[in-house]
């Protein structure tokens, strides 16, 4: 076991401790835990010191909805794809991520389960692979977005039971359209298993959203994207999921804060209305994250389709809709601060403490004694200097003396 100390401006993220320190034990066998966070008071001679004076030291960023990056997609079905995407996101501050699937054939999904298990047990110099987020296949055709309609299904018990058995101890969250026959029963089952039930790619209206919440659905997947809004039928207006996200205050929401999926004005509105404790920032990034503009593939190399990276986002061939995000977590935090005028503590909270809470990562997202030794260190412009996950440096821009 080794002792380390990071000096800098500590974002807990509930407050900033200027010229503070975070001390932790690094142990490969029993795990790495924070032992002290506060003003500088411990004798440097007992620690390996990482001097980040003048920089911000935040909890490690947590991305609970990400499909890939660096030319890799988790649907590629290879360990190299998992580890390659994890390395790319580590270089942008992500200490922990949830590999996210797309609607696909069953055999492809089960292959992802197997590869995830192999990747998790392989030496990884990138972001920690905490568990899977299943996005599909139980979605509305009307709100499918870039999901492949050929593989959409109804949530029948005999089908989702097979998935839950194959994905046992791997699945942390599942996005579903709750208006589908059988979806409410699935929500109850997910709640029982401790899996976060999320509403996504759904055409549900307000009354159905209430039923979904009562059945265990607590989170709205990529808020505003792939979901219903106010509709008019026979002269009467009916609120959709977007309105439900505000009207039902207990719903948590996640937003793609890339500045493209939602403009700065809407980022401000979501934050001011819901608050940092109910909003998680997500990249929803596909393989094009970290790549230059041009042609790339959305989904697996085998079953995916061509999209084009332009203007900081991936677009479908006709340019009439987005085909995926190419965001990274540092960009999300930077946008919330620079574009949405959010203070640094709340911007970091939406990238750490809130997503950890939403998917039950109980020892992550906060800098406090007893929590995992996960840190993201960055400058005033949210340029990442170092990422530490479970006490291990997984990205370092400069040599700060950590061995």
> Mind spelling out the 3-state secondary structure of 93-149?
CEEEEEEECCCCCHHHHHHHHHHHHHHHCCCCCCCEECCEEEECCCCCHHHCCCCCH
Q: CB 320: neighbour CB atoms within 10 A?
A: 7
Candidates 130, 251, 269; CA nearest to 199 is 251
Strand duo 231-233 + 236-238: pairing: antiparallel
- DSSP letter string over 148-172? -GGG-----HHHHHHHHHHTTTTEE
Tokens of residue 362, six digits? 């109980």
More confidently predicted of 305 and 108: 108
DSSP state letter for 141: G
Candidates 216, 275, 218, 273; CA nearest to 246 is 273
Phi, psi of 119 (to 5 degrees): -65, -40
Instruction: For residue range 77-104, list pLDDT tens digits in order.
Output: 999 999 999 999 999 999 999 999 999 9
Beta bridge partners of 21: 7, 38
Phi, psi of 50 (to 5 degrees): -110, 105
Mean pLDDT (the chain) is: 95
Q: ∠205-210-211 over CA atoms, to 5°? A: 100
Using CA atoms, how far apart are residues 248 and 239, in angstroms rounded to an integer? Answer: 11
Compute the average pLDDT of residues 175-201.
Answer: 98
Q: Which helix (H) or strand (E) holds 192?
A: helix 183-193
Compute the average pLDDT of residues 187-193.
Answer: 98
Tokens of residue 366, six digits? 């906060």
Q: How confident is the model at residue 401 (pLDDT cuts 50, 70, 90)?
A: very low
Sheet containing 375-378: give its strands across: 33-39, 16-26, 2-11, 48-59, 375-378, 384-389, 392-396
Predicted confidence (pLDDT) at residue 402 exceeds the cutoff of 50: no
Note the pLDDT of residue 399. 54
Note the pLDDT of residue 31. 80
- DSSP letter string over 232-288? EETTEEE-BHHHHHHHSTT-EEEEE-SSSSS-HHHHHHHHHHH-TTTEEEE--B-TT
Tokens of residue 367, six digits? 């800098």
Q: How confident is the model at residue 236 (pLDDT cuts 50, 70, 90)?
A: very high
Tokens of residue 68, six digits? 């890939």
Instruction: For residue range 345-385, list pLDDT tens digits in order.
Output: 999 999 999 999 999 999 999 999 999 999 999 999 999 99
Note the pLDDT of residue 304. 84
Q: How confident is the model at residue 67 (pLDDT cuts 50, 70, 90)?
A: very high
Instruction: For residue range 281-322, list pLDDT tens digits in order.
Output: 999 999 999 988 899 998 888 878 889 999 999 998 888 888
Compute the average pLDDT of residues 23-31.
Answer: 83
Note the pLDDT of residue 400. 46
Query: What residues have CB less than 8 Å from 108, skipping those under 6 apart?
Result: 75, 77, 300, 302, 303
Q: How confident is the model at residue 1 (pLDDT cuts 50, 70, 90)?
A: confident
């Amino acid at each position: 076991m080794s002792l380390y100390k990071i000096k800098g401006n500590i974002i807990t993220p509930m407050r900033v401790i200027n010229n503070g320190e975070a001390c932790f034990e690094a142990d490969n066998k029993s795990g790495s835990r924070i032992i002290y966070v506060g003003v500088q008071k411990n004798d440097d001679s007992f620690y390996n010191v990482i001097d980040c004076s003048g920089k911000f030291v935040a909890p490690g960023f947590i991305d609970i909805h990400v499909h890939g990056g660096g030319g890799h997609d988790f649907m590629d079905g290879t360990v190299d794809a998992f580890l390659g995407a994890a390395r790319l996101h580590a270089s942008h501050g992500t200490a922990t991520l949830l590999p996210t699937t797309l609607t696909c054939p069953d055999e492809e999904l089960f292959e992802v389960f197997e590869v995830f298990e192999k990747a998790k047990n392989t030496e990884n110099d990138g972001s920690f692979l905490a568990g899977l987020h299943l996005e599909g296949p139980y979605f509305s055709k009307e709100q499918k977005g870039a999901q492949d309609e050929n593989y959409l299904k109804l949530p029948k018990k005999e089908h989702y039971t097979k998935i839950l058995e194959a994905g046992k101890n791997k699945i942390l969250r599942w996005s579903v359209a709750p208006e589908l026959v059988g979806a409410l029963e699935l929500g109850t089952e997910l709640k029982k298993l401790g899996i976060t039930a999320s509403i996504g790619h759904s055409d549900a209206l307000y009354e159905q959203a209430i039923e979904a919440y009562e059945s265990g659905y607590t989170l709205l997947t990529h808020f505003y994207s792939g979901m219903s809004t106010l509709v008019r039928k026979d002269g009467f207006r009916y609120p959709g999921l977007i309105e439900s996200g505000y009207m039902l205050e207990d719903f948590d929401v996640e937003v793609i804060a890339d500045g493209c999926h939602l403009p700065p004005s809407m980022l401000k509105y979501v934050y001011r209305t819901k608050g940092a404790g109910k909003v998680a920032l997500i990249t929803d990034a596909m393989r094009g994250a970290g790549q230059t503009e041009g042609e790339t593939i959305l989904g697996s190399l085998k079953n995916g389709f061509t999209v084009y990276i332009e203007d900081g986002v991936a677009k479908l061939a006709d340019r009439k809709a987005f085909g995926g995000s190419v965001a990274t977590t540092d960009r999300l935090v930077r946008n919330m601060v620079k574009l949405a005028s959010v203070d640094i503590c709340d911007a970091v909270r939406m990238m750490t403490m809130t997503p950890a809470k939403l998917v039950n990562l109980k020892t992550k997202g906060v800098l406090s004694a007893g929590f995992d030794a996960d840190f993201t260190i960055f400058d005033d412009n949210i340029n990442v200097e170092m990422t530490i996950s479970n006490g291990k440096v997984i990205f370092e821009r400069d040599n700060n003396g950590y061995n």
